[in-house]
Structure 1
Amino acid sequence: MYRSTLLIQFAVILAISFVSGVVCFQLFPLDKAMELIKYIDPRVLELTDITIWNTIIPLVAWIVLVLFFATHPYLHVLARFVVAVKATFFGFSSVFLLTQQESLLVYSAWWFPFQFVYCILLFLLCSVYATKKVGQKRKYFFSQRLFVTLIVAITLICVGENLVITYVIPS
């Protein structure tokens, strides 16, 4: 029961954050939107000359930020907020890509599927440090199996993303 409620909560946060990103894009002038995108993930603006580090560094930054908050006993709620910010940027950049000429392939083959999966995996990463009620006290534990599984999944998705950027999307 608890896990299904948690998944519903993650899905609602993801949907609301994505729509919020769409709304935010409508409120920004295009030059300011491009400036914000350049700071967070410049690959959205220009897909040519992308190195593997251009994919890994932003992803690792999001993972470290989520793990920092998820493993803190008092700030764990902020981990979901960080993922909600990532999902908001996902929606924001999605509208940018869809409004650009000739970017439907970029959006449908690269941006949407990979960013969607990253957001889901980051939400699951929020659950690696959980509590269990033992008697009258709560005991915190770090789920190593879930952590390793998520890191392997994120690595495989990152490799797939680099393959799509390199071989599917024309430069």
Structure 2
Amino acid sequence: MARSLSFIYLFVILAISYIGGALLFREWPITSLEQIVGLYDQRVVKGADASIWSPIIVTFSFITLAMILSKYKRVRFIIMFIGAAKCVLFGLSSTYFLSTGMKLVMYTVWWFPFQFMGCLVFLILCTVLNPPFFTSPAHKKDRPLSTVPLLIGLLLIIQLLELTIYHFIT
């Protein structure tokens, strides 16, 4: 029961954050959005002219930030907020991507599936680093961190697959 509740919890965070990012798109001017979306993934704004290292750097900066925050007990609660912020940027970038007239095939084959899987795995990593109240161990020191390298490796594999698909599509 606790495991299924954890995945429902993560899907709710992902869905609400994605929708929040899509709604946020309506409230900001396009010039400001281009800067924010460009920080998240330059390929959405610049297309094939963007640096190939940009998405890798962003992914590892989110991982690094979550890992640093997990080391300090007083700020560990912010980790899930970082995961939700990544999902908001995913929703914001997706809406920007679709509104600029990009091909729907590119969105459905390249952008959405890999970003969705990356956000979900990152949320799972955030949950491992700071378990929610209903799955946390009795002692906060006894967090099972053995899955962290596996999840980081999975994020790397997803990123490499996404870059490969992007290379063949563009």
Q: Looking at both structures, which has the greater relative contact order when contacts are Cα pairs under 8 Å and sequence separation is at least 6?
A: 2
Q: Identify, as 1 or 2, the structure richer in strand.
A: 1
Correspondence list, 1:1-171, <5 A? 1-129=1-129, 131-133=136-138, 138-167=139-168, 169-170=169-170
Q: CA deviation at 1:9?
A: 1.3
Letter in 2 for 1:39: L
Offset from partner CA, 1:138-168 (integer Å, 9 cap, x none): 241353431121122112111101101111x
Bigger Rg, structure 1 or 2: 1
Q: CA deviation at 1:8?
A: 1.4
Alignment partners' CA distance in 2, 1:121 and 1:49: 28
Q: CA deviation at 1:2?
A: 2.3
Letter in 2 for 1:26: R
SS of match in other structure, 2:47: coil
Alignment partners' CA distance in 2, 1:114 and 1:51: 18
Q: CA deviation at 1:51?
A: 4.3
SS of match in other structure, 1:102: coil
Q: 1:9 to 1:71 in 2, by over 3 A?
A: farther
Q: CA deviation at 1:72?
A: 2.9
Offset from partner CA, 1:38-80 (integer Å, 9 cap, x none): 2332221122144442221011011111222234323222111
Unpaired stretches in structure 2, ≥5 consecutive residues: none
Answer whether contact 2:42 2:51 (CA < 8 A) is retained.
no
Alignment partners' CA distance in 1, 2:118 and 2:24: 21
Q: TM-score, normalised by structure 1?
A: 0.86
Q: Identify, as 1 or 2, the structure richer in helix.
A: 2
Alignment partners' CA distance in 1, 2:7 and 2:145: 20
